[in-house]
Amino acid sequence: MSDKIVDIEAAIAVIGDGATIMIGGFGVPGTPFCLLDELVRQGPKGLTLIKNDANENGMGVDHLLLGNQVEKLIVSHIGLNSNAIKLMNEGRLEVELCPQGILAERIRNAAAGLFGFLTDIGIDTTLAQDKPRFEIDGQMLLLEKPLRADFALIHAAHADPLGNLIYAAAAQNFNPLMAMAANHVIVETENLTEPGDLSPEAIHTPAPFVDRIVELPELTEDYGVVRR
Amino acid sequence: MVSSDAKQRLIQRVSREIEAGMTVNLGIGLPTRVIDHVDHDLPICLHSENGIAGVGPSVAYGQADRNLIDAGGSYVSIQPGTAFFDSAVSFALVRGGRLDLTVLGAFEVAMNGDLANWMIPGLFTPGVGGAMELAQKARRVVIMMTHCDKQGRSKIVRECRLPITASACVDRIYTDLAVIDIVAQGLILREIAKGISLDEVLAATEAPLQVSDNELPTF
């Protein structure tokens, strides 16, 4: 059997204080809630989290924020989490805001072993203030730097023991990008198959990117449909 | 306060922006409701930032797929031909110029097309999401908003006071009072809402409006 398969306690135990962690998901779909809950239970502090959003109050990242485990968020928005907004406005949480597609591209850039890229997105806005500028062929552009992490926490609908992954519907989002951009990639999956059960043509994340796989015995209610 | 009737007419008017063959992104809030007034048989592709091309109608909680939301968090359906992809692909589609139209909300629009819709310092700081890329890169950017804010101040201004989302990006503004185009020479009034006078539109608009001598259509 593959040595990538571990229990959830061992999977998260490698994460220490001060780690930088990428977390998949856009809203509920694709967020690895069980891995996050275990991170809350084990309690490392001083974390930098890279994620699209800060989830909603009472779920996922929110538990880490309320436990004072997070020093910095690098996100595209935090609009659905009033705790994150409050902590930011009180100066107790550093928040780096990044246009959503630029966040994705900075992650992909690191994943591909590159060292930044030039873009005109946000160039006339306050988000451009501290970014180096370059004029290329008469056009002023901003330098965006790659984002790499110590760990990535990924939610996959299906995984095989080698670490090949398939995501469901809109649960894909940032997961395949983050699964390429961290030094140590930890995956939780709803369905651990036998080798060869996943079609090679359907694989979203190929096995060499994945270090650890946790099979979820069941999904918590965080994964369900949210009634607003 | 904008009456629900005026809001409905605004939504219906904006829905006429959407034409066969377009790839469209509808912003969170009122713009999302535009799709309810578009003919279901019209061949269009609705894009959502979280990685969907071909978003289908929204669904009730009982029918919801927990993995299938749009960027605003509404549970949606798929259609024949829907595609899912990651966030880098989703914004390659936006930045690469494949969006024919985006409909966005706004706090302020300036007479040169500058758009402010992502933050109000000290009051509303949710982050930027995909707003900058949509505003900067969609081939056509139309704004759908109330003409004035809750204090009655014009949201169509000479210069944005709030931090901008993108400069000189807006092509057209739809409000509960009027339809206004933004061209190189400034703002041109195109249509007026039913029951609203020209003087009311002019009084509610901080930025100078060019008005033709001909009678304007209503909506």
Chain pair A-B, CB pairs under 8 angstroms: 140
- At B178 the pLDDT is 98
The pLDDT tens digits of the residues spanning A127-168 come to 999 999 999 999 999 999 999 999 999 999 999 999 999 999
CB-CB under 8 Å, A76 with B130: yes
Which residues in chain B are contacts of A27 at CB distance < 8 A? Answer: 50, 69, 73
pLDDT tops 70 at residue B1: no
- At A156 the pLDDT is 98
Cα distance from B104 to chain A (closest Cα, Å)?
A: 16
Lowest-confidence segment of A131-135, A155-159, B55-59, B177-181 by average pLDDT: B55-59
Mean pLDDT confidence for A85-96: 96
Band (B212; pLDDT cuts 50, 70, 90): confident
Domains present along chain A, CATH in parentheses: 8-193+200-215 (3.40.1080.10)
Residue of A nearest to B65 (CA): A225
What is the number of structural domains in chain B? Answer: 1
The pLDDT tens digits of the residues spanning B96-126 come to 999 999 999 999 999 999 999 999 998 888 9
**B64 lies in some domain:** no
Cα distance from A160 to chain B (closest Cα, Å)?
A: 20
d(CA B203, CA A67): 52
Cα distance from B23 to chain A (closest Cα, Å)?
A: 18
CB-CB under 8 Å, B64 with A100: no
What percentage of chain B has pLDDT greater than the value 90?
Answer: 89
Q: What DSSP string runs through chain B? A: ---HHHHHHHHHHHHTT--TT-EEEE-TTGGGGGGGGS-TTS--EEEETTTEEEEEEE--GGG--TT-B-TTS-BEEEEEEEEE-BHHHHHHHHHTT---EEEE--SEEETT--EE-S-BTTTB--B-TTHHHHHHHSSSEEEE--SB-TTS-BSEESS--SPPSBSS---EEE-SSEEEEEETTEEEEEEE-TT--HHHHHHT-SS-EE--SSPPPB-
Residue of A nearest to B72 (CA): A27
Q: Is B73 on the interface with A (CB under 8 A)?
A: yes
d(CA A130, CA A67): 31
Band (A15; pLDDT cuts 50, 70, 90): very high
The pLDDT tens digits of the residues spanning A176-200 come to 999 999 999 999 999 999 999 999 9
Domain that holds residue B35: 4-46+86-210
Instruction: Choose the mutation target among A225, A226, A227, A228 for the interface with B, i.e. most B CBs under 10 Å.
Output: A225
**B143 lies in some domain:** yes
- Show which residues of B are catalytic: 49
- At B214 the pLDDT is 87
CB atoms within 10 A of CB A103: 29
The pLDDT tens digits of the residues spanning B12-38 come to 999 999 999 999 999 988 999 998 898
ipTM over 0.95: yes
Nearest beta carbon to residue B128 from set A76, A177, A224: A76
pLDDT tops 80 at residue A228: no
Mean pLDDT confidence for B142-165: 97
Nearest beta carbon to residue B67 from set A125, A126, A169: A169
- At B71 the pLDDT is 95
- At A129 the pLDDT is 94
- At B26 the pLDDT is 96
- At B219 the pLDDT is 95
Q: Domain of B160: which CATH number?
A: 3.40.1080.10
- The overall average pLDDT reported for chain B is 95
The pLDDT tens digits of the residues spanning A48-61 come to 999 999 999 999 99
The pLDDT tens digits of the residues spanning A20-47 come to 999 999 999 999 999 999 999 999 999 9
A161 token code pair:
């023991």
Band (A1; pLDDT cuts 50, 70, 90): low
**B61 lies in some domain:** no
d(CA B53, CA B31): 17
**B96 lies in some domain:** yes
Band (B198; pLDDT cuts 50, 70, 90): very high
